[in-house]
């Protein structure tokens, strides 16, 4: 499995961004792990890891990190 992981934090919260694909897969999956080890997985698959990261950045910019932490409404992108 090919995998990229990055922690992202603000003054109050830390989340983990996981971008991965299986050895035989051609598309990448984007997953966010919150502070309670719960995950949000995008339904959309990505052609590259860079496209997946850009999708995360857009969501972070538009919704803020709070969209990915416990006790907040989650939406799957």
H or E stretch including 16?
strand 14-21
Residue 32 class from Cβ within 10 Å (0-12 exposed, 13-18 middle, 19+ buried)? buried
3-state secondary structure of 57: helix
Q: What is the pLDDT of residues 12-32, one digit of tens each?
A: 899 999 999 988 999 999 999
3-state secondary structure of 27: coil
Q: In this predicted structure, what is the pLDDT of residue 77?
A: 53
Contact of 74 with 67, CB cutoff 8 Å: yes
Phi-psi category of 55—alpha, beta or left, where left has phi over 0 and alpha has psi -120 to 50?
Answer: alpha
Q: What is the pLDDT of residues 40-74, one digit of tens each?
A: 999 999 999 999 999 999 999 999 998 888 764 44
């Amino acid at each position: 499995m090919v995998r990229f992981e990055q922690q992202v934090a603000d003054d109050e919260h830390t989340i983990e961004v996981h971008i991965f694909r299986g050895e035989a897969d051609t598309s990448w999956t984007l997953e966010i792990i919150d502070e309670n080890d719960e995950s949000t997985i995008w339904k959309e698959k990505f052609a590259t890891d860079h496209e997946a990261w850009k999708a995360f950045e857009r969501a972070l910019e538009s919704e803020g990190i709070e969209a990915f932490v416990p006790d907040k409404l989650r939406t799957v992108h």
